[in-house]
């Protein structure tokens, strides 16, 4: 039995000279997931809490669990695998409580594990692809994403894709950041940007 539950959604995008494909994550991606999740520099940005390294068992637990009910993708740029991203049902009770019952609220989480690909516009692009898919194909009502205040790249990617900062939540336990930033993009806001 496979660890990562896969799916059949592939998203294609990019600009001339830079083809971006989001394809289903599978167990064949585990060696890269182990490597990216054992890189302290990647985890510095990906995790607010101080985690230097995840073990292979941790990685299997994380991706095995999350993929059961959510879409996990490998990010490919011009044929090269550079990271992973998820379109996930909102799992945090205090965030769910911010929205009316019955609304489809999701979050996007992402990690470019190949550090040479940071800061080249790829995150902005693939998050845009996930947003389009979420609102136009999955009929999601709200995207609500989280990142810590120290992760300027991540904040900027959300901002550039039309998200609004709706809450800055002060951490009560030690974190790298001082605040958890909450970013929101509603279906109506997305549609208004298309006009």
Ligand X SMILES: CC(C)(COP(=O)(O)OP(=O)(O)OC[C@H]1O[C@@H](n2cnc3c(N)ncnc32)[C@H](O)[C@@H]1OP(=O)(O)O)[C@@H](O)C(=O)NCCC(=O)NCCS
Binding span for ligand X by CB under 6 A among 86-94, 108-116, 132-140, 170-178: 108-116
Closer CB to ligand X, 83 or 184, in the complex = 83
Please give the size of the binding site for ligand X, defined by CB under 6 A. 22
Radius of gyration of the chain (CA): 16
* Binds ligand X by CB under 6 A, chosen from 21, 71, 72, 111: 111
Q: Judged by CB under 6 A, does residue 124 bind ligand X?
A: yes
- The answer to whether 141 touches 98, Cβ cutoff 8 Å, is no
Binding span for ligand X by CB under 6 A among 56-64, 147-155, 165-173, 184-192: 147-155
- The answer to whether 59 touches 40, Cβ cutoff 8 Å, is no
Closer CB to ligand X, 117 or 139, in the complex = 117
Q: Which of residues 150-169 bind ligand X (CB under 6 A)?
A: 151-154, 156-157, 160
Among 41, 25, 34, CA closest to 58: 34
Who contacts 78 (Cβ-Cβ below 8 Å, separation ≥6)? 18, 19
Task: Please report which residue ranges of 82-121 form alpha helices under DSSP H.
Answer: 93-96
Q: Judged by CB under 6 A, does residue 24 bind ligand X?
A: no
CA dist., res. 173 & res. 77, Å (int): 37
Interface with ligand X (CB under 6 A): 42, 45-46, 83, 110-112, 118-124, 147, 151-154, 156-157, 160
């Amino acid at each position: 039995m496979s660890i990562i539950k896969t799916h059949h959604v592939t998203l294609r995008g990019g600009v001339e000279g830079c083809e971006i494909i989001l394809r289903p994550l599978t167990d064949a991606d585990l060696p890269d997931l182990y490597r990216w999740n054992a890189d302290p520099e990647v985890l510095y940005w990906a995790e607010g809490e101080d985690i230097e390294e995840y073990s292979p068992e941790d990685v299997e637990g994380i991706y095995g669990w999350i993929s059961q009910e959510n879409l996990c993708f490998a990010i490919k740029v011009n044929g090269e695998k550079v990271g992973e991203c998820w379109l996930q049902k909102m799992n945090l009770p205090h965030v769910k409580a911010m929205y009316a019952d019955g609304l489809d609220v999701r979050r996007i989480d992402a990690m470019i594990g190949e550090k040479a690909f940071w800061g080249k516009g790829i995150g902005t692009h693939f998050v845009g692809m996930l947003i389009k898919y979420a609102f136009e194909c999955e009929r999601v009502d709200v995207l609500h994403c989280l990142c810590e205040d120290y992760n300027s790249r991540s904040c900027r990617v959300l901002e550039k894709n039309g998200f609004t900062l709706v809450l800055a939540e002060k951490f009560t336990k030690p974190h790298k950041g001082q605040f958890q930033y909450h970013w929101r993009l509603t279906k109506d806001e997305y549609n208004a940007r298309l006009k």
